[in-house]
Structure 1
Amino acid sequence: MRHDVIIAGAGSAGCVLAARLSGDPRLNVLLIEAGGRDDYPWIHIPIGYLYCIGNPRTDWMYRTAPDPGLHGRQLLYPRGRVLGGCSSINGMLYVRGQAADYDGWRQMGCTGWGWDDVQPLFLKSEDYFDGPSDHHGAGGPWRIERQRLRWDILDDWSRAAEAEGIPCVEDFNTGDNEGVGYFKVSQKNGFRMSAARAFLRPAMRRPNLTVLTHRQVRRVVFEGNRAVGLELFADGAAEIVRGREIVLSAGAIGSPQILQLSGIGPGALLQEMGIPVLRDAAVGENLQDHLQLRCAWKVSEGRTLNQLARRWWGKGMIGAEYLLRRTGPMSMAPSQLGAFARSSPDVATPDLEWHVQPLSLEAFGKPLHDFPAITASVCHLRPESRGHVRITSPDPLRAPEIAPNYLSTPGDRLVAARAIRRTRAIMANPVMARYRPEEFKPGVAYQTDTELAHAAGEVGSTIFHPVGTARMGADDGSVVDPRLRVRGIEGLRVADASVMPRITSGNTNAPTIMIAEKAALMIAEDMRGI
């Protein structure tokens, strides 16, 4: 059977594409996912990300290459491997970024991607809890709500940040996200609202949409310079599916891997792997990510999750509250309070983001510390550092090399030092004095810019925002053009976070949903002309 559109990857972008394109009954749509159905209960309970990340049932289980900027450390690099992709395992935070991000894309030659162009697409997706407004939509498939808990220590951190010059705000998504407040989340009535639940599940009843799970993409199939299908395999058996339009939505790691395996990528790399070069292109380069610096303080007063969740009666209270009311710690996103601010007066728009949590642990997946604490992770939103994703074998089951190359520029190291200092200033504000905070990460021994940059390499970790590895642009060196068509190839597009020319100033799931909304409109428009 020949399909009109074949989508590789049923993550955040793929679910949106499948739902929107299959809304036209004249189009036959095939959606392919390497993982399984989203029937694992912990996907849908917000705190369940703890059981989904690092679980091969839902996560690709990637690791980075040893990173010089992190003193040779390797990081876990979670990516969703299930219907809904990363939206089924992520932190659920709804953050669009800044108007300047998208206007910057337009100034880089990406016509049609300015803030005025994309804001209506954000509204189109939304079912915002507070109803429609100039900045939000209602009635869309993707439910966005307030969080269903609060903490005194976070409220006080917010007041301390305000005293340090960061205004309190209700909404980070107006185009100017400067301020401090609780994040809004992609949830509905205390349950996760993944892209699979919001977009794909209602569309799966349509006869013109087919969803195949547990199918690994081996490569794109070409006739000359035209993509005509995908080669898949499952349980050792190979098959080829054919379509008029092939869309890669496998994410910032998966999409460049598929392109490289198909002969589109750096020529020298492909030749080294024994893959015939169809097009020599910078696929897999331009990797960008937000590095979070986990700054943490012991506290002597106030309630934190460390005390509550380490006691049997506390766990019982947490479970009972969620069972009865869908509120409390089981409903919480990994970070509840957020803030956006400038690292220095010379910065035009906020370039720092805080994720503040009433808890502490050594690393993600480790147990909570046995003392009360607060963590204020801060990340540089517009890093200069660039990394890469490169296949290590012609075998699609072999993970690619993921090298984020964190803190590799003097500018990034300087911003890291400033970010830690600004976090310390907030914690030292008199509002926080009643908690008697005692810094233990990175530790007061680090004081100079050089020392703080070194400390950043010790406490830094990914906040799971890889983008940019199939860069969109108007120049010949870009991987895709502003209509997301792979340069030099017919019938092949990429539509996911990999196309971002520059990372957005915030969490990346909402921008990825927007990219897919725009891609669906462009694909439908182009297919009407065929």
Structure 2
Amino acid sequence: MSLSELDYIIVGAGSAGCVIARRLIDAGLKVAIIEAGPYDTNPDITKVCDLGKLWFSPQDWNYRTIPQPGAGNRQIHIPRGKVMGGSHALNATIWVRGAKQDFDTWAYLGNDGWSWDDVLPVFKGIENFDRGASETRGAEGLLDVVEGYERNPLQEDLFVAAQQAGIPKNDDYNSGDPEGVGKIQANVRDGDRFNTWHAYLRPVADNENLTIITDAVVRELIVEEGTVHGVILDTPQGRQELRAPETIVCAGAINSPEILLRSGIGPTEELREVGVEARHHLPGVGKNLHDHLLSPVIFSTEKEIPAPACLPAEVHVFSKSRPELSVPDTQPLYFSIPMYNEDMTGPASGFSLLGGIVRPASRGEIKLTGPDHSDPISIDLGALSAQADVDALVFSVKQCREVGRQEAMEKWGAQEIYPGPDVSDDDLEDYVRSTAVTYHHQVGTCKMGIDDRSVVDPRTLRVYGLQGVRIADASIMPFVPTGNTNAPSILIGEKAAAAVLAQDSEVPEGAFV
């Protein structure tokens, strides 16, 4: 593949990749962005309320974990976007920055430049918030953040029911303090999905300095004498090489570590065990995998629920499972439809209150199973391996049951069908272990930091010990934020672009600075 005089290759046209490409193009640099999937022509992408139709579709990587002992030994489905826009083309477009303490903790652990005070101006610069600018919110950014979409009357009653259950109202959960019940802010425009591909990159898609390569899977990095010179990719025309002075990997918390591992970058002994030539020892690659989890509380209704006009979920809650916690560790999410698991059945008329955990203690890993590109990766979330996660999820399910029983829901004729009246609050541990599913927020597998398990330098996002390569996506998060991960992934894209354009200091030789 001949693309002369490229300045940068970006791997992955998701939330971060599209942002970086736009910022580099605006700076006059020559960029090629590579996406494993096609353009977003599937009409189900347009309406956020159709997101369930995208799971198992050609635009879904359609991963599954290995059996999870802590979650009923089930193999949990992990949908990931394989399309322009990445997982932002498949998700619920919920805009959550996280808690102030999340970013202050990142900074405390040695990630200078990532405190709340550091990231707040960047978040504000991203946002085009429909409620206008304020001390904590932005209204001149490229990405629409909307609270004034068409609402479902069921959701308005759920918002009231949560308050009847004793949950305080939070007028703006993105202020740094997310605790309470809030109306979801979403990335939509005119009622349709509006992701970073739409907001950042598509408006400059015809720029002469931008090359968009779709339906091309990056298999490995080209590593020669400690420097990455580009990528090896499979295209409809066959296997090809693409070279540039620098490659920025934005393939997500699953695919970014996979690309590194297949390139021989990772734990040396583990690579050798599966027949991969080890080129650069980095023990943290693929480790520290963690995710948010959900467990459904589903109600049938006697009164018909209107179909969602814009979002399938419009209300969520951030609560502490124990009062002594400094930050909420649960985030229930309220859907206007029954969100049945794969092994569940029930009536079409109903709604779901999904108990959720957002500060998991459980950790897993991503590993290769063999040397060939056709050998599948092993995804182990370590789901509910920490008892603290089980306890928090049980708390959240109990809270959801309580909300669904409030006076505001009586006019709908709401009747709990899952877990169901035969399952008491004291018997919920088995239920959450047998029903927990991903909240689609995998992070941490190429974490930034300064310890010996860190993969990228927090100042530059360069991979430790290598030249010519950075990583910028959810994989670099050392700890998952309190809430949905799309907004922090876009933040990472903006900060990565700023680091590239500033040409920060060279990467240190080791992981300690």
Which of the five TM-score ranges fits, normalised by the shorter chain? Answer: over 0.9
Matches of 1:364 and 1:448 in 2, distance apart? 23
1:17 equivalenced with 2:23 (yes/no) = no
1:477 CA displacement: 1.9
1:421 CA displacement: 2.1
Matches of 2:26 and 2:235 in 1, distance apart? 28
SS at match of 1:390: strand
**Larger mean Cα displacement after TM superposition, 141-150 or 280-289:** 141-150
SS at match of 2:313: coil
1:433 CA displacement: 4.2
Map Cα deviations across residues 24-58 of structure 1 (whole Å, 9 max, x no partner): 11x211111111112222222223323322111x1
What number of residue pairs does the alignment pair up? Answer: 502
Percentage of matched positions with identical amino acids: 36
SS at match of 1:332: coil
Give the match for residue 311 of structure 2.
Answer: 333
Q: Which amino acid aligns with 1:349?
A: V
The answer (yes or no) to whether the contact 1:147–1:185 under 8 Å persists in 2 is: no
Q: 2:494 aligned to 503, 517, 524, which one?
A: 517
The answer (yes or no) to whether the contact 1:343–1:352 under 8 Å persists in 2 is: yes
Q: How is 1:322-401 mapped onto 2 (pairs within 5 angstroms)?
A: 329=308, 331-363=309-341, 369-370=346-347, 372-401=349-378
1:104 equivalenced with 2:105 (yes/no) = yes
**Larger mean Cα displacement after TM superposition, 269-278 or 79-88:** 269-278
Q: How is 1:148-297 mapped onto 2 (pairs within 5 angstroms)?
A: 148-235=149-236, 237-280=238-281, 281-297=283-299
Q: How is 1:399-418 mapped onto 2 (pairs within 5 angstroms)?
A: 399-418=376-395
Q: CA RMSD in A?
A: 2.1
1:219 CA displacement: 0.7
Matches of 2:214 and 2:395 in 1, distance apart? 46
1:394 CA displacement: 2.6
**Larger mean Cα displacement after TM superposition, 468-477 or 103-112:** 468-477
Q: Which amino acid aligns with 2:100?
A: A
1:67 equivalenced with 2:68 (yes/no) = yes
The answer (yes or no) to whether the contact 1:93–1:333 under 8 Å persists in 2 is: no
Q: 2:444 aligned to 454, 464, 468, which one?
A: 468
Matches of 2:51 and 2:300 in 1, distance apart? 25
Q: 2:462 aligned to 470, 485, 488, which one?
A: 485
Matches of 1:420 and 1:192 in 2, distance apart? 29
In structure 2, relative to structure 1, the CA distance for the partners of 1:51 and 1:513 (3 Å cut) is same
The answer (yes or no) to whether the contact 2:398–2:425 under 8 Å persists in 1 is: no
Normalised by the length of structure 2, the TM-score is 0.93
The answer (yes or no) to whether the contact 1:170–1:181 under 8 Å persists in 2 is: yes
Give the match for residue 511 of structure 2.
Answer: none
The answer (yes or no) to whether the contact 2:298–2:339 under 8 Å persists in 1 is: no
The answer (yes or no) to whether the contact 2:9–2:246 under 8 Å persists in 1 is: yes
Structure 2 unaligned blocks of 5 or more:
508-513
Normalised by the length of structure 1, the TM-score is 0.90
The answer (yes or no) to whether the contact 1:264–1:277 under 8 Å persists in 2 is: yes
1:156 CA displacement: 2.6
Matches of 1:452 and 1:160 in 2, distance apart? 22
1:501 equivalenced with 2:504 (yes/no) = no
In structure 2, relative to structure 1, the CA distance for the partners of 1:398 and 1:365 (3 Å cut) is farther
SS at match of 1:48: helix
1:216 CA displacement: 1.3
Q: Which amino acid aligns with 1:33?
A: E
Q: How is 1:70-81 mapped onto 2 (pairs within 5 angstroms)?
A: 70-81=71-82
1:105 CA displacement: 0.5
**Larger mean Cα displacement after TM superposition, 229-238 or 190-199:** 229-238
In structure 2, relative to structure 1, the CA distance for the partners of 1:345 and 1:527 (3 Å cut) is closer
Q: 2:6 aligned to 3, 26, 34, which one?
A: 3
1:397 CA displacement: 4.3
1:527 CA displacement: 7.3
Structure 1 unaligned blocks of 5 or more:
310-328
